[in-house]
Amino acid sequence: MAVQQARQRTGDLVFKILTALCAAAVLALVLGILVELMRNSSVAMHKFGLKFLVSSAWNPVTEDFGALSTIFGTLVSTLLAMLIAVPLSLMIALFLVELAPPALAKPVGYAIELLAAIPSIIYGMWGLFVFAPFMADHIQPFLTKTVGFIPLFQGPPMGIGMLTAGIILAFMILPFISAVMRDVFAMVPAVIKESAYGMGATTWEVTRQVTVRYGLRGLVGAGLLGLGRAIGETMAVTFVIGNDHSISASLFAASNSIASTLANEFAEASTPVYLAALVELGLVLFVITFAIQVATQLWLARIKRVAEGR
């Protein structure tokens, strides 16, 4: 009996250690990425220092590299995507929760979710061969004609460029944001909404003054989730952003993001400094996305605590 118990205890200990090691693999992964990216970018870090972050140079011939144009492209394409996707997601969530009859809400919700399952390279293919020509033939000439006096919408309608990348990013993050917003809307207690309806408020007034206010934190969380997805999205952006290391006032111009630069140029990087500069770009992207994810997780955890009344 005692022997059997001892054997059991050893078995349990081995199992606990094994599972703990597997859990520690996640920790090792995070630390490993940080250490490896810093180690492999040290050549560029020593050569350029902090100037790397504010220089817009990108010249493989003279080996002068800076991250500014790619950081700019990453931020602007993400901002465009958020400007389009957040209001659109709000509308979709509103439709699914408040307006559509249940028989319609279910298949529509499923179709929107399906957008999230499509791999990003498919968005890239569709973006390059279908959507970019559509932009060049219809959307861009229309924008030039109507709001062309603003520098943002000037320049030749090439189809590809910052605006197209932003729009396709918006389509990609739409399902993630709208799914969370839908859950937030559905969590608002019916009594609160009904009392507003009872006062004679319209659906839009209830949404604006009751539902949105009640679930504001959750809506911000939904936006943060979408932001994290958009900022590191690689393939779809690489296909349509145009891949040009310049900072332009026009949204029609070809541009670049950190992820698309890595995808495009890594295979060509022939010198140690070029390679190290690309790895340092990766490090910058890792630090930005890590910070956004940490903020998102802390924010969501706080909402959960508040919702559980702790």
Partner 1 sequence: MLPRPRRPRQLADLGVRVASAFGALLGIVILAWILGEVIRRGLSAFSWEFFTSLPGPPASVGGGLANAMLGTLAMTALGTAMGVPVGILAGMYLAEYGHEGKFGMLVRFLSNVMMGIPSIIIGLFVYTLVVVPFGHFSGYAGAISLALLILPIVARTTEDMLSMVPNAFRESALALGAPRWRVTLGVVLRAARAGVITGVLLAVARVGGETAPLLFTALNSPYWPRSLSGPTANLTVTIFNYAMSPYTGWQQAAWGASLVITLAILLLNGAARLVTREKK
Nearest in space to 187 (alpha carbons), one of 285, 105, 100, 97: 97
Choose which of 6, 53, 54, 111 interacts with partner 1 (CB under 8 A): 111
**Contact call for residue 290 and partner 1 (CB under 8 A):** yes
**Contact call for residue 6 and partner 1 (CB under 8 A):** no
Q: How many residues bind partner 1 (CB under 8 A)?
A: 85
Restricting to residues 66-85, name those near partner 1 by CB under 8 A.
none
**Which residues are registered as beta bridge partners of 242?**
255
**Contact call for residue 185 and partner 1 (CB under 8 A):** no
**Contact call for residue 112 and partner 1 (CB under 8 A):** yes
**Contact call for residue 297 and partner 1 (CB under 8 A):** yes
Closest to partner 1 by CB, 19 or 59? 19
- Residues 6 or more apart whose CB falls under 8 angstroms from that of 202 comprise none
**Contact call for residue 216 and partner 1 (CB under 8 A):** no
**Contact call for residue 272 and partner 1 (CB under 8 A):** no
Pattern 47-66, partner 1, x by CB under 8 A: --------------------
**Closest distance of CB 116 from partner 1, Å:** 9
**Contact call for residue 43 and partner 1 (CB under 8 A):** no
**Contact call for residue 194 and partner 1 (CB under 8 A):** no
Stretch that binds partner 1, among 114-122, 140-148, 213-221, 302-310 (CB under 8 A): 114-122
| Whole-number Cα distances in Å, 103 to 28, 45, 153 | 47, 58, 42
Residue type for position 114? L
Stretch that binds partner 1, among 54-62, 125-133, 151-159, 213-221 (CB under 8 A): 125-133
Choose which of 69, 234, 255, 256 interacts with partner 1 (CB under 8 A): 234
**Closest distance of CB 151 from partner 1, Å:** 28
Closest to partner 1 by CB, 35 or 249? 35
**Contact call for residue 209 and partner 1 (CB under 8 A):** no
- Residues 6 or more apart whose CB falls under 8 angstroms from that of 160 comprise 128, 132, 240, 241, 242, 254
Closest to partner 1 by CB, 32 or 151? 32
Stretch that binds partner 1, among 51-59, 147-155, 189-197, 229-237 (CB under 8 A): 229-237
**Contact call for residue 179 and partner 1 (CB under 8 A):** no
**Contact call for residue 267 and partner 1 (CB under 8 A):** yes
**Contact call for residue 40 and partner 1 (CB under 8 A):** yes
Stretch that binds partner 1, among 52-60, 188-196, 244-252, 290-298 (CB under 8 A): 290-298
Q: How many CB atoms lie within 10 A of CB 230?
A: 26
Query: Whats the size of the chain, residue-wise?
Result: 310
